[in-house]
């Protein structure tokens, strides 16, 4: 056999016509404007709802703090070794997490004994947003249960 003379296949040059993808690999101005318009529309819908979400979250956090502090009152009486009296005059001294502009109503006096047990009672709390909760403290443990 006779070997063919010529260039080896790796040396041959290939001509390639440029395709549209090779010419420009970025986004057009129109495409960028459409994306920005979509982002603005989504933000316009989401931001007002986000503000309401934050208000709701802060109100729920305040209610949870009040309930936690009500649950701590028996332990405070036990830890101090003396009775703790909760009435409409000194309620803010013992429940310091209640915001200043919220209304609190206690019928009578709720007494927490040195042992941590209490005699029971009712506490009504109303927030500035109009939310109201009634807590019934049932003796002897006086766990704060919202009704």
- Residues 19-65 have pLDDT tens digits of 555 566 788 999 999 999 999 999 888 888 888 888 888 888 988 99
Mean of the per-residue pLDDT values of the chain? 83
Q: Given a cut of 80, is residue 147 above it in pLDDT?
A: no
Q: Given a cut of 80, is residue 13 above it in pLDDT?
A: no
92 within domain boundaries: yes
Tokens of 140: 């002897």
3 within domain boundaries: no
25 within domain boundaries: no
pLDDT for the residue numbered 6: 58
Q: Given a cut of 70, is residue 18 above it in pLDDT?
A: no
Q: Confirm if 122 and 134 have CB atoms less than 8 A apart.
A: yes
pLDDT category, 138, cuts 50, 70, 90?
Answer: confident
Domain that holds residue 73: 31-146
10 within domain boundaries: no
pLDDT category, 16, cuts 50, 70, 90?
Answer: low
pLDDT for the residue numbered 52: 82
18 within domain boundaries: no
pLDDT for the residue numbered 39: 94
pLDDT for the residue numbered 34: 95
Global confidence as pTM: 0.61
Q: Confirm if 102 and 127 have CB atoms less than 8 A apart.
A: yes
Rounded-to-integer distance, Cα 146 and Cα 57, Å: 18
Q: How many domains does the chain have?
A: 1
123 within domain boundaries: yes
Q: Given a cut of 80, is residue 96 above it in pLDDT?
A: yes
């Amino acid at each position: 056999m006779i070997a063919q003379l010529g260039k080896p296949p790796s040396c041959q040059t290939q001509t390639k016509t440029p395709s549209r993808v090779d010419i420009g690999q970025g986004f057009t101005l129109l495409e960028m404007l459409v994306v920005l318009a979509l982002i603005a529309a989504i933000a316009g819908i989401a931001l007002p709802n986000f503000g309401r979400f934050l208000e709701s979250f802060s109100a729920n956090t305040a209610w949870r703090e009040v309930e936690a502090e009500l649950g701590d009152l028996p332990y405070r009486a036990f830890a101090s070794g003396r009775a703790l009296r909760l009435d409409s005059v000194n309620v803010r001294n013992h429940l310091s997490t209640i915001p200043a502009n919220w209304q609190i109503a206690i019928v009578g006096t709720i007494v927490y004994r040195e042992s941590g047990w209490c005699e029971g009672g009712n506490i009504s709390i109303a927030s500035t947003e109009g939310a109201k909760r009634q807590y019934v403290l049932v003796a002897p443990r006086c766990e704060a249960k919202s009704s």
